């Protein structure tokens, strides 16, 4: 019986578990994550508007673990030793394995001076609730929204949710009849932010900002935040609420793990999602740096695709076969505005962006519902 350890309880980790169980009913699967819960991050953008409550996005995984015969170790991983064969946790336990899948997500580079004055929604439910509460307390003012990149690995960035927040706030304030009391400012170090979505998408997003009377401050990197202002390389401007997504790097246990890292500090993987140079160690999702086009997204969808390949390849390796499963790279994203959605699609052959549509807003809501059913009402894998 193979002993497999999975790190994380997010998109990549849980998809890996499903795929492992689909192909191996007997493997002993141990999943290490602080809590037996999945946080459905893509819907955090709906918390400030009250479309979702915190508990809607916190999915209890006890039933999923029982159905798939997963042993959950409730702890944080602090170290990986012996080339991946031993995983050490803050609970002072060490879990030995025959195969390892790392899906511990990314970490934000919170190095800018004054970063404590900015809220990063991707940090989770608490951050989204803080935005909601701060907004409710404000009578008027300027809201500055921006995102940064990992300077050593520009692909390790997440801009989509910040566009969603920006357009969502515009619609929310209009709905509340107080948009005229607020100034919305979008700032970014690039003169064409969101370039990975494709040229047409950038044009559409900038047009949308103009249409909505959202001021843009582009082409100058932020250098620091203060309680009431954003300071960039070129200027400073007042801000009563700063929403900022820094660039991402790999998990905190990565640097000491002995695994190969990318220039940006993520776990380097190959086209089979295998950690480069390691034996029976795989990575999926935001923890990893993968070969592929420069626009390859850091998305839940990619985490799922990589996790499927990782699980299949690990099982192959454990049974003496060469890993051959690869994953496709595609960007599929509905940029939601609370009322409409804009679909952005990109793969190596083509890319397109649709006009805003009410239908796409509901498609995003229904995708969430369907996706989460597998964890709310798990069924055994056949
Ligand atoms: C606001 C927002 C909107 C988004 N919108 C979309 C969207 O519309 N579409 C899309 O495809 N993607 C979207 N994303 C991106 C998507 O959520 C991420 O790409 C995805 O969550 C990555 O999956 P993952 O498995 O790599 O990591 P995560 O889902 O972040 O999971 C990481 C897991 O690892 C655990 N963990 C972390 N550190 C440790 C440790 N040391 N030891 C043990 N466990 C650890 C965490 O607790 C968590 O369970 C959005 C993200 C945000 C924040």
131 has a pLDDT exceeding 90: yes
- Same domain for 239 and 278: no
Q: How far is the CA of 382 from the centre of ligand 1 (A)?
A: 27
- Same domain for 238 and 153: yes
Q: Which residues contact 115 (CB under 8 A, 6 or more apart)?
A: 225, 244, 246
Q: Among 329, 352, 374, which residue terminates a domain? A: 329
Atom of ligand 1 at shortest distance to CA of 78?
41
- Same domain for 294 and 232: no
128 domain residue, yes or no = yes
Q: How far is the CA of 206 from the centre of ligand 1 (A)?
A: 27
Q: Among 329, 353, 370, which residue terminates a domain? A: 329
Q: How far is the CA of 34 from the centre of ligand 1 (A)?
A: 14
CATH for 236:
3.50.50.60
d(CA 254, CA 260): 9
Supply φ then ψ for residue 211, to 5 degrees: -60, -35
Q: What is the pLDDT of residue 14?
A: 98
Q: Which residues contact 192 (CB under 8 A, 6 or more apart)?
A: 199, 202, 206, 218
63 domain residue, yes or no = no
91 domain residue, yes or no = yes
Instruction: Ligand 1: list residues with CB < 6 Å.
Output: 7-13, 32-34, 41-42, 44-45, 76-77, 103-105, 121-122, 160-161, 251, 253, 285-287, 298-301, 303, 333
376 domain residue, yes or no = no
Other beta carbons less than 10 A from residue 358's beta carbon: 10
C-beta pairs of 88-92 under 8 Å, 24+ apart in sequence = 89/32
Q: Where are the alpha helices (DSSP H) in the chain?
A: 11-23, 62-67, 125-137, 160-175, 199-211, 300-318, 358-376
Structural domain range at position 190? 114-247
Q: How far is the CA of 241 from the centre of ligand 1 (A)?
A: 24
Atom of ligand 1 at shortest distance to CA of 298?
19
- pLDDT tens-digit series, residues 12-71: 999 999 999 999 999 999 999 999 999 999 999 999 999 999 999 999 999 999 999 999
Please provide the distance, in angstroms rounded to a whole number, between the alpha carbons at the two ends of the chain.
18
- Same domain for 299 and 240: no
Number of domains in the chain: 2
Whose CA is closest to 51, among 158, 128, 124? 128
Q: Which of 14, 18, 33 to mutate to test the pocket of ligand 1 (most atoms within 8 A of CB)?
A: 33
380 domain residue, yes or no = no
- pLDDT tens-digit series, residues 288-336: 999 999 899 999 999 999 999 999 999 999 999 999 999 999 999 999 9
Q: Among 247, 274, 302, which residue terminates a domain? A: 247
- pLDDT tens-digit series, residues 243-268: 999 999 999 999 999 999 999 999 99
- Same domain for 119 and 233: yes
Tokens representing residue 201 in the block? 């998408």
- Same domain for 235 and 120: yes
Enter the DSSP assignment of 357.
Answer: B
pTM: 0.97
């Amino acid at each position: 019986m193979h002993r497999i350890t999975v790190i994380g309880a997010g998109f990549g980790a849980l998809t890996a578990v499903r795929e492992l169980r689909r192909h191996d009913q007997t493997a002993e699967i141990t999943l290490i994550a602080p809590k037996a819960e999945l946080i459905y991050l893509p819907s955090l953008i709906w918390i400030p508007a009250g479309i979702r409550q915190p508990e809607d996005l916190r999915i209890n995984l006890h039933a999923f673990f029982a159905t798939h015969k997963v042993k959950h170790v409730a702890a944080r991983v602090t170290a990986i030793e012996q080339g991946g064969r031993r995983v050490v946790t803050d609970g002072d336990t060490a879990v030995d394995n025959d195969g390892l899948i790392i899906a511990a997500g990314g970490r934000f580079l919170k190095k800018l001076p004054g970063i404590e004055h900015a809220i990063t929604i991707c940090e989770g439910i608490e951050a989204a609730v803080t935005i909601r509460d701060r907004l409710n307390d404000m009578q008027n003012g300027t809201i500055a929204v921006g995102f940064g990149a990992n300077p050593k690995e520009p692909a390790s960035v997440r801009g989509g949710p910040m566009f969603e927040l920006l357009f969502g706030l515009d619609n929310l304030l209009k709905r509340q009849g107080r948009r005229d009391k607020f100034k919305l400012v979008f700032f970014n170090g690039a003169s064409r932010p969101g370039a990975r979505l494709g040229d047409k998408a950038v044009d559409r997003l900038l047009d949308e900002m103009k249409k909505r009377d959202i001021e843009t401050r582009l082409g100058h990197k932020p250098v620091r935040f203060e309680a009431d202002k954003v300071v960039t390389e070129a200027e400073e401007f007042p801000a009563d609420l700063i929403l900022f997504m820094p660039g991402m790097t790999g998990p905190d246990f990565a640097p000491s793990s002995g695994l190969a890292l990318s220039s940006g500090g993520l776990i380097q993987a190959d086209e089979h999602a295998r950690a480069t140079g390691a034996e029976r160690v795989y990575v999926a999702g935001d923890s990893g740096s993968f070969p592929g086009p420069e626009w390859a997204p850091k998305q839940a969808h990619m985490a799922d695709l990589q996790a499927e390949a990782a699980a299949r390849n690990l099982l192959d390796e454990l049974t003496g076969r060469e890993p051959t499963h690869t994953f496709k790279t595609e960007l599929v994203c509905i940029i939601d505005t609370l009322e409409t959605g804009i679909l952005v699609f990109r793969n190596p052959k083509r890319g397109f962006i649709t006009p805003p549509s009410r239908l796409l807003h509901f498609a995003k809501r229904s995708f969430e519902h369907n996706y989460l059913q597998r964890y709310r009402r798990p069924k055994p894998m056949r």
